[in-house]
Amino acid sequence: MADTLDVNGHHSRHSSLSAVAADLPKKLIVCCDGTWMDADSGWVKGKNGRSGHPQTPSNVTRIARAMKDQDDSHHQQIVYYQAGFGTGIGLYDHLIGGGTGAGLSENIREAYSFLVSNYSEHDKLKQPDSIFLLGFSRGAFTARSIGGFIGAVGILKKVAMPFFYEIFQDWANAGNPKHPPRFFNTYYRLNPELERVQPPIEFIGDKTKINQYMQSYRDILLSHNLTTEANIKCIGVWDTVGALGIPINPILQRMLPFLPSFIREYRWFDTTIDDHVENAFQALGLDERRFPYSPAVWERPDDCRTNLKQVWFAGAHSNVGGSYADQGMADLALVWMMDQLAGHTRAPSKPFHHLDWIQFDDTYITAFHRLQVDQYQQSDLPPPSPRGWAKARVYDSLTFPQSLAGARTRAPGRYCRADPDSGDLTAQLMRNTHEHVHASVRYRIDAGAAPLESDWSQAFPRGLSFQPYVQWLARRLTPNTRTPTYLPDRVKGPLHGWRLVDGHASHDSPNGVPEGVVKPAKWVWQGAAGAVDCKEMPEDVLGPYEVALKDFDREARGKLEVGEGGVVGRVKSYSPSKTI
């Protein structure tokens, strides 16, 4: 969809922003886009006689455009937008950057430099600036890496930025006995008048003492006035990849056999969060099946106070983060994130402060919905388009050449920790992941919406995939008395082993008979004992932005009840819902 709304405070990947002189603290919002995504210059060239068109924007682009320049308390909301990998000039950057993730360190440095240039710490007269980090796909990996780096070393002073790479590598390799800290040698060589200090030798290279090592490291930076400690108001991401490393395009592997399946330097050994992050939100796709796109699910330590929420949506990786031609499913994850970042779903006991949250333009949802409908009418998507709330196309992303790397069904509630030495998954289940399932999944099941569909825009001769033709032929040759519908809890499906409990007598077929009880829905584990850490995944409550989007579909409006806490369950008859 070619959005026409202005980008508030929008800055390109290679731009910088000088500090804003203002009496009030400001909000610094870093938005890191996914691979090959560029809101500034994204253009899809025409092929086979078809005219070119603007690139379908990701949810990172769209949420940046929905932000106001300042909130109602006159705090500036300054947005730094960073294009994804493979969007630079030239074929090399497109193939190598987009296909391998090369340049991740540079992306992290650029986005982090924006914070260094603009962050104002607190003093007696002023609160500190607020930091928000958003991202999709590898951009989510970038955002989370920045968040972890800030937690470890704080916001470096400008005078320390020439040493960024040494400090960043020291952090990334903490606990690696083959990587002694490099920053201190360089810094003290250039400043011989200073007393040489570095973390205790017993902490260096010891994986069991990484926290002590980084605490000592940060204390030394603070003692030389090279950094300032800072908290992050929120990290909000769509479908982080990198649990196994940054995946490499299989075609590049075939062309360049020396390339590995993953860039192991960039992978998540530690998926935990700590108290320096106040809120952490992640939207995840149930139906992504590409093996390299294993999600990096967060877990929260027992003594951590971070408000963590991770919600599963119907759809593949780009259904959740956006960029498919049919944006219907991406819309759900977009407005969900807007509700989280706006503070609409915060705990009732938590008071609202403007600096804690992002303020959006409330008219944006109506505007992008109109643009969405118009694009459906102008596009070559087969009818009916749009299909209605939660019933848009869920694309099958397991197509050539990505299928060369293998397949793996996602496993909500069942992810395990990675071994800190090898990076391989262990049998130890993640704890305190705070996973939910979005209400649209239940609605999609009840509505009998379509299962996974082929992306014909990638079919030969437009793309390299012949899978849409194979699937079309298979459906024609296979007798089936029942129309296929979306059933994520099917055998070998992502929710296999989980049972939906929502007042329905049965979910064996769409539109099961309600039992007449309206209560919060949840998914209860019915599979093997010991296969999950938490036996229930609650259904997430819809916020006001989500309800506003749902209300454009009169059929959906009449099937979900909205209470003071949001959408709580099904009703048999229509009752008007809240809108913003």
Q: Which range scores top for mean pLDDT: 33-47, 72-86, 445-459? A: 72-86
Q: What is the pLDDT of residue 91?
A: 37
Q: What is the pLDDT of residue 230?
A: 96
- Of 293, 492, 469, give the one whose Cα is nearest residue 397: 293
- Encode 228-263: b = buried (16+ Cβ within 10 Å), e = exposed: bebebbbbbbbbbbbbbbbbbbbeebeeeeebeebb
Q: Which two tokens stand for residue 430?
A: 């993640």
> Which range has the worst mean pLDDT, 337-346, 360-369, 476-485, 551-560?
476-485
pLDDT band for 459, please (50, 70, 90 cuts).
low
> Which range has the worst mean pLDDT, 28-37, 247-256, 487-496?
247-256
Q: What is the pLDDT of residue 42?
A: 58
> Which range has the worst mean pLDDT, 239-253, 353-367, 391-405?
239-253
199 pLDDT exceeds 90?
yes
> Which range has the worst mean pLDDT, 52-56, 252-256, 311-315?
252-256
Tell me if residue 287 falls in helix, strand or coil. coil
pLDDT band for 465, please (50, 70, 90 cuts).
low
Percent of the chain with pLDDT over 90: 51
> Which range has the worst mean pLDDT, 40-54, 107-121, 174-188, 435-449?
40-54
Residues 100-115, mean pLDDT to the nearest whole number: 80
pLDDT band for 269, please (50, 70, 90 cuts).
very low
What are the backbone angles phi and psi of residue 432, rounded to the nearest 5°? Answer: 55, 45
Specify the DSSP class assigned to residue 419: P
Q: What is the pLDDT of residues 542-556, one digit of tens each?
A: 999 999 999 999 888
- Of 450, 451, 470, 462, give the one whose Cα is nearest residue 403: 470
Single-letter code of the amino acid located at 510: P
Residues 93-97, mean pLDDT to the nearest whole number: 40
- Of 248, 38, 232, give the one whose Cα is nearest residue 134: 232
Specify the DSSP class assigned to residue 160: G
Q: What is the pLDDT of residue 570?
A: 41
Compute CA distances 128 → 112, 151, 286, 520, 571, whole Å: 17, 16, 38, 39, 46
Report helix angle 104-118 to 138-153, nearest 10: 50
Percent of the chain with pLDDT over 70: 71
Q: Which residue has the higher pLDDT, 84 or 522?
A: 522
Q: What is the pLDDT of residue 90?
A: 40
> Which range has the worst mean pLDDT, 116-125, 163-172, 370-379?
370-379
Cα–Cα distance, 263 to 100 (Å, whole number): 7
Task: Give the predicted TM-score (pTM) of the model.
Answer: 0.85
Q: What is the pLDDT of residues 80-92, one digit of tens each?
A: 999 875 433 343 3
342 pLDDT exceeds 50?
yes
Q: What is the pLDDT of residue 508?
A: 60
568 pLDDT exceeds 80?
no
Q: What is the pLDDT of residue 571?
A: 33
Mean pLDDT of the chain: 80
54 pLDDT exceeds 80?
no
Rg of the chain taking only CA atoms, in angstroms: 24
114 pLDDT exceeds 50?
yes
Cα–Cα distance, 561 to 559 (Å, whole number): 7
Strands 77-82 and 27-32: parallel
Single-letter code of the amino acid located at 481: T
Q: Which residue has the higher pLDDT, 280 or 17?
A: 280
Q: Which residue has the higher pLDDT, 95 or 481?
A: 481
Q: What is the pLDDT of residue 196?
A: 95
Q: What is the pLDDT of residues 410-435, one digit of tens each?
A: 999 999 987 766 666 788 999 999 99
Q: Which two tokens stand for residue 194?
A: 């200073």
